[in-house]
Amino acid sequence: MHWIDPESLPETRGIVTRFLLNPHGELDGIVLRSRRRQQVHFPPHLSKQVARHVALGDEVRVRGVKPRGADMIAAVAIVAKSGKVILDEGPKHDGEKPRRPHTERRAMEASGEVLLSLFGPKGELRGALLDNGTSLRMPPHAAAELVTYLTPGAHVQAWGHGTRNRHGCAIEVDEIAELVDVSS
């Protein structure tokens, strides 16, 4: 998205309530609270900058695009509380493929209520955020078949492989089921 002038895009303001991780342990989004809860997606190559300049509870400004059919913003620019502008200028292209950080992925499971459906940058359904802060992630083709499990208010249990760090927890889902006993 480096070719889009962020000043030409609408601005959204909100308080950062959660960081979103991908299954590699990189930040690839935040959840803002303004009038409602909203996902802001950004590419993982901005993970270090966001972690350095944005904290939970900070008010941030976001300029980005809203894909059709998805209640989220694909960020082109994030302005941190300090005024630091984090601009998506695309990944560095120095002839080498960007390397993912080596993160120990382990078998994990999580259960809870879905607070928010999670989308990719083009608005494709990619998972859900549970009430305990766990991000459930899956490829778009799988998510399209499992939409009822990824809708806010659904109670689910999921199994897969993922990671946990100081910013949160993400599971790449292998199996998911409706959580029948929600009283516990």
| 6-87 matches 106-178 in fold | yes
Class for the domain spanning 106-178: mainly beta
Tell me which CATH code domain 6-87 carries: 2.40.50.1010
Reduce the DSSP state of residue 42 to 3 states and report it.
Answer: coil
Question: What's the pLDDT band for 23 if we cut at 50, 70, 90?
Answer: confident
Q: Region 151-171: what's the mean pLDDT?
A: 96
Nearest by Cα to 132 from 170, 181, 160: 170
133 pLDDT more than 90: yes
Model pTM score = 0.88
DSSP labels, 108-170? EEEEEEEEEEEE-TTS-EEEEEETTSEEEE--HHHHHHTGGGGSTT-EEEEEEEEEEETTEEE
Helix (H) or strand (E) holding 15: strand 11-21
Q: Do 112 and 155 meet the contact criterion of CB atoms below 8 Å apart?
A: yes
DSSP letter at 56 equals T
Q: Region 132-155: what's the mean pLDDT?
A: 96
Compute the distance between CA of residue 127 and CA of residue 137 in angstroms, rounded to an integer.
4
**Strand 85-87 vs strand 72-79: parallel, antiparallel, or unpaired?**
antiparallel
Question: What integer pLDDT is reported at residue 168 of this predicted model?
Answer: 92
Residue-range domain boundaries for the chain: 6-87, 106-178
Helix (H) or strand (E) holding 18: strand 11-21
Q: Do 2 and 89 meet the contact criterion of CB atoms below 8 Å apart?
A: yes
Question: What integer pLDDT is reported at residue 30 of this predicted model?
Answer: 98
84 is written with which tokens?
């630091």
Phi, psi of 48 (to 5 degrees): -65, -40
14 pLDDT more than 70: yes
Q: Give the mean pLDDT of the chain.
A: 91
Question: What integer pLDDT is reported at residue 35 of this predicted model?
Answer: 81
